[in-house]
């Protein structure tokens, strides 16, 4: 089980391919706040709802100085399908070996329908302009999560 991040921690640096295979790094966003969220799989109902919620609120979040990055274990090709099918405007990154997901504490034991297994824990980490963790939220719900973040951030 990976260690969960706490406010004040330095956010782990990363470089991952986006839906078009281009490398995107956390450091590309220095000087802006970044909402990095981890989700189990593209093109699934809950993950689609969450990604669409972030896209629907992207203008509001961007206006308040936040960039949004979604990270999943999917390959770039699947992320491109997801983006195109749902008209997503957020940055989607591929982490097939789950290195970044683990570094952010978003991989571990899950329970579903009475079964215990290892998987991606739906999580959101808000990183400030200096690369420090402002908030780290784990086991979040797909539905209503974006609205809660906006409310909590006072946007």
47 as an active site residue: the answer is yes
Helix (H, G, I), strand (E, B) or coil at 18: strand
* Domain presence at residue 4: no
- Residue 59 lies inside a defined structural domain of this protein: yes
Catalytic residue from among 34, 36, 47, 100: 47
The CATH number of residue 92's host domain is 3.40.30.10
In a domain, 1, yes or no: no
Does residue 30 fall inside a structural domain? yes
pLDDT averages per 10-residue partition of the chain, 155 residues: 87 98 96 96 93 96 97 98 97 97 94 88 96 95 93 92
Percent of residues, the chain, with pLDDT higher than 90: 92
Q: Is residue 68 part of a domain?
A: yes
Cα–Cα distances in Å, from 19 out to 15, 116, 128, 139, 154? 13, 30, 24, 25, 31
Look-up of token digits 């963790």: 133
Q: Residue 54 domain-assigned?
A: yes
**pLDDT tens figures, 120-150:** 999 999 999 999 999 999 999 999 999 999 9
Show the CA angle centred on residue 38, arms to residues 32 and 134, nearest 5°: 40
Asked, for residue 2, whether it belongs to a domain, the answer is no
* Domain presence at residue 3: no
Range of the domain at 118: 9-153
Tokens coding 39: 């989700």
Secondary structure percentages of the chain, helix, strand, coil, to 5: 30, 30, 40
Q: How far is CA 45 from the centre of its chain?
A: 16
How many domains are there within the chain? 1
């Amino acid at each position: 089980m990976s260690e969960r991040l706490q406010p004040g921690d330095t956010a782990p640096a990363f470089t991952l391919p986006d839906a078009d295979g281009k490398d995107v790094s956390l450091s590309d966003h220095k000087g802006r706040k970044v909402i990095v969220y981890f989700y189990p799989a593209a093109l699934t109902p809950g993950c689609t709802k969450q990604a669409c919620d972030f896209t629907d609120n992207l203008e509001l979040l961007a206006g308040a100085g936040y960039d949004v990055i979604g990270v999943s274990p999917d390959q770039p090709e699947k992320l491109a399908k997801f983006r195109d099918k749902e008209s997503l405007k957020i940055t989607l990154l591929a982490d097939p070996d789950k290195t970044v997901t683990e570094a952010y504490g978003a991989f571990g034991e899950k329970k579903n329908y009475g079964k215990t297994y290892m998987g991606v824990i739906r999580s959101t980490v808000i990183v400030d302009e200096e690369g420090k963790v402002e908030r780290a939220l784990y086991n979040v719900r797909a539905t209503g999560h974006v609205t809660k973040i906006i409310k909590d951030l006072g946007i």
